Structure 1
């Protein structure tokens, strides 16, 4: 048996997806064998993009494709501006000043001066590095991988960013309804989880209990546990989660755990955390854990009776697939990529994010019916296995790269 700390290889996934699926990756990779692919995003840690790249890049190299990854060494001013861009691209307002444009483009131009791109294909993730294509004499395909919902962007910002976006050979979105219209060719590719990562791999009950104690859940406390795992971000609506919990608490004795991170590229994260922390202190049965290790997230998702994902906007929300992979039922907002993962009434429940009463009722339905909870859990894991594992994701990237490199 391989030691857990050794780097994962594709062969380690055979017991999960089967020999044939692994063989398909090696066959597909032969089409672009030896090619150099570069991924560029905003940060190495914090958020789903960095996590996907951290899991996927080594496996792609194991398949024989030479895949690299670089992040922007930007200052806080850049991240403040890019966060405003992120909010506006999801429909928020923005005062698009020349100063913001200067900070945004100037940071990327500076990055270009000490970054050498001699690769066969470049993949740029999300809006932060989008202008990079301006600062190189384009000699290879460039693909923009967008991880957010662009179905109703702020028009002024859309017009500005389109100037960079039209230069890319292709864009990749999670869902067709997320795509920018009229800006070149695009593909659809849903994200994935890694079932063998520390966050998702099987762990014994003793380990689960150990890490629950570390985040304040007392040993032997048999009350139902509700959790939400997400960045401290207003779009994730942690304050709304507290309102839902207050309604549930009026009907049954239970506890809530909010597990979150403050992403390196999100300057609003600390402010949101402080607001949530202040509210948590007013409630006896609510705990909050910030910037915890992945194994803690694993333990919490396995121990929870219900996981909430009460987002107000959502690119995809892979914490849902993470919980479903562990056979934990999820109640999530009916928006973004959440309905792709939750089949309402089968692998969880979909709710209106502003309907606190219905959300509370759905959570209590699951907690109050063990047979229902078990059935949802089984169906949820199967749904994730068939649709949202990293092996499927790698195959789709290889197909796209082959299209542009052969």
Structure 2
């Protein structure tokens, strides 16, 4: 996603009177957008400076080559001395090697960009295939003889009727962008908070942090993947972060949810519904949320943000089935690290109610399993995390 970096936003006027809730929200959205585009403008300015410096360097190299050619033609005296002449030859060879290195580096970058475009096209085709197949992993594709007990249990749970409501009206790209940017600003403040706590433990490279905020605990797990670029990891992992059938496969078999596509807004934004069913199928726990991929100054951020249920059209469950709605607010960041930005620091975070965090650590273990399954599928891990646990 490449947002317009030249967007002109109105200035924030001084507050002269108490603001209504709607005015506060509008002011906050404008502030978030201004901050976002200010960072993009700064990034573009730095890119322009790099291009100018490279152009100046090339001009100096060309001018030096021209002066050397003139010196040979004019047969200047300083080249008649053997030592100076040998020194000049070595300098010229070094310049030629440096020029060759620069050309090869540019060619390598062009090839990497071509490979990235190819990988992105492959993932796009996979997305189209998934959409054509209904985004459902629950259409049986294997025989009963090859099904594991966990798969049969999941199939039984998923046979309960689930009504998926439609939207009253399709969500616009601009609306989804504002929701995602506002949430990203909240995430940025959480990550920059000096009050974050950590157990100090490292589980297969994953380290934890958490931040207490009133009734919520904001948590995130972080791991650095050396020599895997942000673009490579995003191309490989986006399908597992946005396609329902891939997302459902990340959960343990005992709690495997059904995830449905409500709307595909664009290539970077989808609206989803996640449903957990009770064993008898009479109780459904629903989450209605946005999944949006943002380009940020340091890489990418994938936002999962709960949406207002009033956006859904009225619907009717089968008799005896009750709904309970829960919020789903998580996020994933992929950021450039390393001297040349060749590596990727990945963070997976979210929020959980303080009471749940205090009563049990099972939720954190499940979160760790989810990120490790994602790592195993996208990156390839030495540890295989199966749907039932570890092996």
Name the TM-score class by shorter chain.
under 0.3
Determine which structure has the larger strand proportion and give its number.
Answer: 2
TM-score, length-normalised on structure 1?
0.24
Q: Which has the larger radius of gyration?
A: 2
TM-score, length-normalised on structure 2?
0.24
